[in-house]
Amino acid sequence: MQISPNSVASFHYTLTDDQGQVIDSSEGREPLTYLHGGGHIVPGLEKQMAGRVVGDKFNADVTPEEGYGVHHAELMQEVPREAFQGVEDIQPGMQFQGRGPQGEINVTVTRVENDKVFIDGNHPLAGKTLHFAIEVTGVRDASAEELEHGHVHGAGGHHH
């Protein structure tokens, strides 16, 4: 059975960057399970999952445009420290919810300098080419209820 729209597919993955550094991996965990065609995984990977069958192992390279987006310089901002009231010790790497042009965004503190805080609203993987090593571990038809909800139920999915 091939992965096609409305399949529920499971896969193991290792994600590395251009330098070969591992960014994320399902090793030692349950495989990732998703409803194919629903935009639950990055578009560039979803495209390359189509037509695969259980046992397929392949490498997928995904451009930033089809991954987590290109890097937008305008999402990097400098804000006064008093904007972070109630936070005593602001450190690079801390994440906050902020307001962007399209609603709520997550921002990451990149630098703190005296009374200035530099934040970045880009996804941490924005602008990066993604290199996936994939092993398909399961394919089945989605149930009517899963299709109606738009997500997977049971193992690796929603429990409700």
149 interacts with Zn ion by CB under 5 A: yes
40 interacts with Zn ion by CB under 5 A: no
* Alpha helices (H) along the chain: 43-49, 144-149
Using the contact rule CB under 5 A, the part of the chain among 60-68, 93-101, 117-125, 147-155 near Zn ion is 147-155
User: Least CB distance from residue 142 to Zn ion, whole Å?
Assistant: 11
Query: Does residue 19 sit in helix, strand or coil?
Result: coil
Per-residue tokens: 154: 């049971």
Using the contact rule CB under 5 A, the part of the chain among 8-16, 42-50, 74-82, 146-154 near Zn ion is 146-154
Tell me the residue nearest to Zn ion as measured from the CB.
149
Residue with Cβ nearer Zn ion (73 or 159): 159
Residue with Cβ nearer Zn ion (71 or 149): 149
Residue with Cβ nearer Zn ion (12 or 149): 149
Q: How many residues bind Zn ion (CB under 5 A)?
A: 2
User: Least CB distance from residue 16 to Zn ion, whole Å?
Assistant: 32
User: Least CB distance from residue 13 to Zn ion, whole Å?
Assistant: 24
Residue with Cβ nearer Zn ion (112 or 147): 147
What own/partner pairs with CB < 8 Å and gap ≥ 24 does 148-157 have? 150/35, 150/38, 151/35, 151/38, 151/40, 152/8, 152/33, 152/34, 152/35, 155/30, 155/33, 156/10, 156/30, 156/31, 156/32, 156/33, 157/8, 157/33
Best CA proximity match to 41, nearest among 136, 120, 122: 136
Sole residue written with tokens 């399961």: 138
User: Footprint of Zn ion on this chain (CB under 5 A)?
Assistant: 149, 158
